[in-house]
């Protein structure tokens, strides 16, 4: 029984052991693709920018409550709110405890 790789190639146990032996003896001559560091880009065509700002604790708590109800991280909730405010659209999917609207982008 083999192990099917993403590209469709099937490795059998003997080949796995042979490759492992090369790796462990430092005789492997293959190459590994570079591993990207950090969070993947939100959009390929656009660079992400880190934004930091202060809010009253009650506002942060309201966002935490609303984002949890929507199944979103706080960051995604802020991104969607910013996109909505910036005219990028979105449907209202609920309301926060404070009566604000929750959007789906």
Whether the predicted pLDDT of 97 surpasses 70: no
Q: Name the more confident of 39 and 67.
A: 67
Distance CA 84, CA 70 (A): 16
Section 52-63 average pLDDT? 92
* Residue range 45-72: mean pLDDT, rounded: 88
Q: Is the pLDDT of residue 80 over 80?
A: yes
Contact of 18 with 25, CB cutoff 8 Å: no
Please report which helix (H) or strand (E) contains residue 104, including its range.
strand 101-104
Give the long-range contacts of residues 25-34, CB within 8 A, separation 24 or more: none
| Average pLDDT for 10-38 | 89
Q: What's the whole-model pTM score?
A: 0.46
CA 3 to chain centre: 28
User: With the CA atoms of 83, 85, 88 and 91 taken in that order, what torsion angle do they form, in degrees rounded to the nearest 10?
Assistant: 90
In this prediction, residue 92 has a pLDDT band, given cuts at 50, 70 and 90, of low
Q: pLDDT at position 84, please?
A: 78
Q: Span 26-36, mean pLDDT?
A: 86
């Amino acid at each position: 029984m083999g192990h099917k790789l993403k590209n469709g190639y099937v490795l059998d146990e003997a080949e796995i052991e042979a490759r492992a032996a090369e790796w462990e003896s430092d005789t492997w001559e293959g190459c590994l693709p570079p591993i990207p560091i950090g969070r993947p880009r939100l959009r390929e065509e656009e660079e992400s920018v880190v934004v930091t700002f202060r809010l009253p604790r009650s506002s942060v708590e309201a966002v935490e409550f609303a984002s949890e109800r929507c199944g979103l991280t706080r960051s995604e909730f802020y991104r969607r709110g910013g996109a909505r405010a910036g005219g990028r659209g979105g449907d209202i999917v609920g309301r926060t405890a404070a009566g604000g609207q929750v959007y789906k982008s």
